[in-house]
Structure 1
């Protein structure tokens, strides 16, 4: 059913629902538009409305071929809406779900378009803060680019910053999508342009590999890996592209390329990527010691983001937690999260290492018991048997020591007595 949005727009049909609001196909004085109508509880927050109005000029001025333009901002009673250009196509997440990974040429072409969009935004002193496949739209009516890639447009500028108000986000909270958060955001530093470059490099890694470099498991564990682990190499990736990824995924923001430099470098390497097929690799094993034994990490036990999963239920999608606390994850995967920032000791949680490396499909993983040779299995069994015997011997000696004082006196130093059951 149609509804009026302000005095100039009419919303006709719902295109998608997000945790921050609903996207409608609408009509305005200049034709068809997309209208993002924010939730009523957000619209009733006067502080957020004030920030919304303050952002108006900056968002309206952002005009670039690879940015989904914001045409108007509407504040009318309980309605708080962004009126945007209508893109006839789909989002990058949908394409990834269909194809799992892209050929390097197509992946780099899409990343170059997004880097161009970020360069324009950063020149206008706007930081996106939530670059991810869900926020990259593919224009199916645009001319095909290198590798058959449709033109990519970056959307949802300002949404994360609008919701990240002082009243809803303290210095102990972090807003973003776990898989794509730069380490400095996790450590509590203010977001600069370099966080968008890090997020885009993570997206490019995902387009090539089919998974993100630090994803998997509880969001708290994902956040810690961004800070403590090095990115694992991708077998078969061209070296020039790999070195670019490494630079843009650097822990130190100053080591990363700026968005204009990244866009130029990506476009320079496009001719050399023509004809290279998608990488043929397996996703790393999903076992992460820091998630054991209960599936949560020390830095995230204070706030559980997922409800318990009943036997037989699907595992919650990676990072799929809502923008607004208490809202359920939804179909368009608008996956912000607001959670406690792990402390320095929690982030340091262990020795710095490298994320579990992917491998060529069918290749044995070094050190894997499932792929060990028979001789290696025998050696391991002998070692385990010897260790078990040593433990049993130690337990016997301890039992003799513990029972040596049979007159009911005080326990010997270093030997703990158990208290009797009952009162």
Structure 2
């Protein structure tokens, strides 16, 4: 059923649902548009409406061939004096260009892996859009396949990044509350996990994580509980992809560096990928073997946040709707799971001891067909030291028990104590941390 949005727009039908709201196919004075309505609980927050109003010019001013343009921002009137075109019934709505095509998650789910040239073209386009946003002082903070749309209306698909600034505006600490880690764990830069403020480098880390996923079919540190994913982001190094050209692999390593200053800037990333493109043309998708394990990985780390702005009934949209989803897992004690936030997760910042504890459930390392799989985190140097300490503790306890038993059974006739039980023996429990 059609509904009015503000005084100039009409929403006709739902195109998809995401972590922050619902995307509608709409109609405006200049033709078809996509209208993103924020969730009711978000729109009811007067502080959020004020923040959107204050960011109005920045959101409307981002123009680039690889960025989904925002045509209008509708916010309710706020008691704090927020101004701007009012949404219908106090709603917050972003009126955007309509992109006719699927999102990148849908495309990757269908293709499983992309050829290096196609993956590089998509990421180079998005990087050029990020360069414009970063120059304007705007950090996306939630770059992932669900937020990259593919415009298929021309001869060649064009990748466009959407939802600029939405994660920042929605997830800023409110009412003096404690800040936490906010984002999608598989694409979250280590400095965010460690509680540092997100700057432009976090978008580079997330975008090259997307590139890695396009090439391999899974993210470098994904799989399992979100807390384990975050720990891997901080403690583990990215596993190489067999068969990838050296120049492209070096670029991926540089942009997935733990230190933000080591990563390329967005404009540099776009330029490097375009320079490498001629050498990538004709290369097939990587053959990493183990299809069943890859499918398991895809289901563990993949989800359909929303079906993109595809036409209703499009086969790609139906495919995204049918894809398996992963619900957000609350890591803040007492918090309830939010089924609407299927990928965008809020959790507390791990402390130094937790981050130093190593990964539980190491991310699966890709391998070529016939290549043996590398060992898990249990084979690390730290794990070997812990096992040696435990072995020494057990051996010491066994020796003490043997001595005590020998004294008990053989010391009665040899005196030393008036009760005939032999000399007293003191046994001290040894903590494995004190051994070694």
TM-score (norm 2): 0.75
Distance change >3 Å, CA 401–CA 95, structure 1 → 2: same
Contact 2:327 2:339 in 1 (8 A): no
Q: Aligned to 2:286, which of 279, 296, 299?
A: 279
Distance, in Å, in 2 between the alignment partners of 1:342 and 1:285 is 33
Cα distance change on mapping 1:348 and 1:364 into 2, 3 Å: same
Aligned to 2:404: 401
In structure 2, relative to structure 1, the CA distance for the partners of 1:248 and 1:171 (3 Å cut) is farther
Which residue matches 2:12? 12
Q: Quickly say closer, same or farther: Cα 1:11–1:316, change in 2 above 3 A.
A: closer
Map residues 55-94 of structure 1 onto 2, 5 A cutoff. Answer: 55-75=55-75, 76=87, 77-94=89-106
Q: How many equivalent pairs are there? A: 358
CA RMSD of aligned residues (A): 3.2
Q: Alpha-carbon deviation of 1:158?
A: 1.4
| Structure 2 residue runs without a partner (length 5+) | 76-86, 294-322, 377-390, 410-418, 430-436
CA contact (8 A) 2:231 2:358 kept: no
Matched, 1:184 2:184: no
Q: Are 2:140 and 2:165, in contact at CA under 8 Å, matched by a contact in 1?
A: yes
Q: Give the equivalent residue in structure 2 for 1:157.
A: 164
Q: CA deviation at 1:214?
A: 0.8
Partner of 1:413 in structure 2? 426
Greater Cα radius of gyration, structure 1 or 2: 2
Deviation at 1:63, TM superposition (A): 0.7
Partners of 2:274 and 2:348 in 1: CA distance: 39
Superposed displacement of residue 363, structure 1:
2.3
Q: 1:53 and 1:361 mapped to 2: Cα distance?
A: 54
Q: Tell me, in whole angstroms, the C-alpha distance in 2 between the residues paired with 1:411 and 1:53.
A: 79
* Alignment match, 2:371: 363
- The 3-state SS of whatever aligns with 1:19 is coil
1:344 counterpart residue number? 352
User: Residue 11 and residue 276 in structure 1: after superposition, are their counterparts in 2 closer, same or farther (change >3 A)?
Assistant: same
Q: Which runs of 5+ in 1 are unaligned?
A: 145-149, 287-314, 369-387, 417-423
Greater strand fraction, Structure 1 or Structure 2: 1
State the secondary structure of the residue aligned to 1:221.
helix
Preserved CA contact (<8 Å) 1:114 1:152: yes
Counterpart CA distance in 2 for 1:283 and 1:251 is 29
Aligned twin of 1:22 = 22
State how far apart, in whole Å, the 2-side matches of 1:246 and 1:284 are.
Answer: 25
- Asked if the contact 1:284–1:356 (Cα under 8 Å) also holds between the matched residues in 2, the reply is no
CA contact (8 A) 1:282 1:359 kept: yes
Per-residue Cα deviation, 1:306-342 (whole angstroms, up to 9, x for no partner): xxxxxxxxx98568559xx746445xx8511100111
Q: Using a 3 Å threshold, how does the CA distance of structure 1 residues 168 and 101 change in structure 2: closer, same or farther?
A: farther
Alignment deviations for residues 68-124 of structure 1 (CA, whole Å, 9 cap, x no partner): 111111123431111111100000001111111100000000001110110111111
* 2:32 counterpart of 1:32: yes
Corresponding residue for residue 137 of structure 1: 149
Aligned partners of 1:171, 1:280: CA distance in 2, in Å? 45
Distance 2:240 2:96 in 1: 39
Equivalent-residue separation in structure 1 for 2:210 and 2:280 (angstroms): 18
Task: List structure 1 runs of 4+ shifted beyond 6 angstroms.
Answer: 283-286, 391-394, 406-411
Query: Cα gap change, 1:139/1:397 in structure 2, threshold over 3 Å: closer, same or farther?
Result: same
TM-score, normalising length from structure 1? Answer: 0.77
Q: 1:143 to 1:46 in 2, by over 3 A?
A: same
